[in-house]
Structure formats: structure tokens, C-alpha cells
Amino acid sequence: MRAVITGGGGFLGSHLCEALLLRGDEVVCLDDFCTGEPANVAGLRDHPRFRLVRADVTRECEVAGPVDAVAHLASPASPPDYHRLSLETLAVGSRGTENALRLAAAHRARFVLASTSEVYGDPEVHPQREEYWGHVNPIGPRSVYDEAKRFAEALTMAYGRRMLADIGIVRIFNTYGPRMRPDDGRVVSTFIRQALAGEPLTLYGDGRQTRSFCYVDDTVRGIVAMLDSALCGPFNLGNPREHTVAELAGLVRAATGADAPVEFRPLPVDDPTRRRPDITRARRELGWSPRIPIEEGLRRTVAWFTDGSGPDRRPAPHALTTTARC
């Protein structure tokens, strides 16, 4: 198929581009690189089935030629990014989502929205099932991202109910792996960067808040399965193995071999205390579940952070030092 990936130059989007190319699809990557990195897709720029278009999907989302599928991943996704780009985050969740939906509708293409576990907020139900409506502060500091994704889900469902597009929604829980930005503010990349630099690992609160970490290859398999299906969802995509942040710090120390101390800081406002997906629906209907244990995923991620030697599944060996331009 010929797939359009919005946000295809980002951490997760670039891995999705590669997965689709590897199986023989054509890929059109749309990105304005406000948070993505051109180096993520620079190695694909000469691939005959890959096209990069620099575009802000909040302004337009037009692609020449046939379109069989649209995966809407465009959005700042880490707290420092969506705090810095608050209005842009709301815009891509609203106008950007509608522009991507219009593209899919015009081509009668499959549309998949990459939503987030953040729609559950600081959940009062644990683990989180897709039927749970969430516990979200609509005016808190995290709301620009939470509410942008919640609105994007509502808009996607409206298009589906009006039968304007063949839609699907996945809710992605904490994903990690090669190509995370060291300074993106996410806990895995932050701990690895700090450990490799010999700095203390910063734990917020008492370190007992929990997360569920899913390796990027597993998350991408779930998105591809959703693109290939005719299912609506939403589906949780995440690893149901739950870890405290303090446990994660220990796993990162083991993966890096660093004897890094721990430094405690105050817990940010509205930071979720527990987060774990119930993936029963994804297992049953998509045939999907994660395969990579966190110990192996961290080993691969640390190798990439250290010297770029982590696993590379690119369709062709291209240098990563050039800058891709449309």
C-alpha cells in the first residue's frame, strides 16, 4: 500500500516508516521537524519507495498520487516539548487531525490515529481498560497534550460515525528505544543520559509511581496491525508489565553499568501515579502483544545512545549524517 505518515520524522514515526518500507509498502513522510529529527529519516531519503515532504499538517495535508492509508502521529509528545509548544500541540490535535482525516476521506483510505495513555490522565481505575473514560484535569499544565489527544479521538470517531473515513484508534503507552532524543524529558532517555554522563538519576516524588514501558519495535507492530485491520478500537498498545520509576532507575544502572546515585525532586503537578494498560482487547482482536522484555529493550537503547550500534532494521544502508529536505 501507499501510506502517509504524519510526524514520520519523529522517534516513533521514523520506525514506522522503516517497518512499512521493509515489507514493501510505499511511504510518504510528512513532518515540519518542530520536534522530530531530520537524521531519523535521512537514511531513507534515497529509497525508491520513500518520499519526504516538509509540511505543517495544521496548515495543510495534501499528497499527490494515491493514498491507501494515513497514520496520524504528528504531535509533540514529551512534557518539555508540549509545554514549550502548547498552542502548536492543541493545533495539531485539532486542525492537524482534521486535515489528516480529510486526506484519508478524499482517498477512501484507512486512517489510524496514534492517541496516548495520557487520555486516562491520573487514573482512578487500574489497570486501564479502553472503556475507562479517564481522570483528567482539563486546565492543568499537562492538559494541552491530554485534551488535544482526547479531542483528536472524538474527531476521529465523528468521522467514523458519519462514515466519512475508515478509522481506527490506538492508545500508546510509554514507548522507548533507539532515536529517542537525550533531552526529550522522558524518563527512559533522561535516566540513560544521566547514567552515561555519570550524573545522579533524578526521581520525582518518592519514586513509587509506576509506568509500563514498551519497546519501539513492539509498538510499531501494533500500529501496523491496526493499519492492516478494519477495526475501530480504541486499542491499548503497551507492555502490561508494570515498574516503579525507582525500579526503572535500577534497570538503567544495570544496563549502563553505571554506579549512579539517585536524586529526589518534587513530583510535578498532575503527574500520574499509576499507569498500566489492559491489553486484552488488542490480544484478542489484533493478535498483538509485546515481545521484547525491558532488560533487552534497555540494552538495545543504551547501545544506540552509546555508539549507535543498536539494531538497525533499515531497508538499505544509508548514512545518517545528511539532512533530508523535501
User: Helices marked H in 43-96 — which ranges?
Assistant: 79-84, 86-91
CATH architecture for the domain at 2-307: 3-Layer(aba) Sandwich (3.40)
Evaluate if pTM is beyond 0.85.
yes
d(CA 311, CA 222): 19
Q: Examine the residue annotation and report whether 145 is marked as an active-site residue of this protein.
A: yes
**For residue 3, which of 86, 112, 87, 93 has the smallest C-alpha distance?**
112
Mark out the alpha helices in 139-265 (DSSP H runs). Answer: 143-161, 187-196, 216-228, 245-256
pLDDT score of 321 = 27
Sign of CA dihedral 120, 126, 130, 131: negative
pLDDT tens figures, 160-188: 999 999 999 999 999 999 999 999 999 99
Closest to 236 (Cα-Cα) out of 71, 114, 143, 146: 114
Q: Which is more confident, 122 or 313?
A: 122
Domain definitions of the chain by residue range: 2-307
The pLDDT value given to residue 159 = 98
Among residues 145, 159, 176, 215, the one annotated as catalytic is 145
* pLDDT above 90: residue 213: yes
pLDDT at 309: 57
Angle, CA of 283, 229 and 18, to the nearest 5°: 90
Q: Mean pLDDT throughout 297-304?
A: 97
- The helix or strand, by DSSP H or E, that contains position 106, with its residue range, turns out to be helix 97-107
Q: Compute φ and ψ for 215, nearest 5 degrees.
A: -70, 145
Q: Average of pLDDT values for 18-27?
A: 98
Q: Which three cell numbers stand for residue 115?
A: 492517541
Share of the chain above pLDDT 70, in %: 94
Task: Please enumerate in sequence order all residues whose Cβ is within 8 A of that of 222, keeping only pairs 6 or more positions apart, or say none.
Answer: 170, 235, 237, 282, 286, 288
Assess whether pLDDT exceeds 60 at residue 322: no
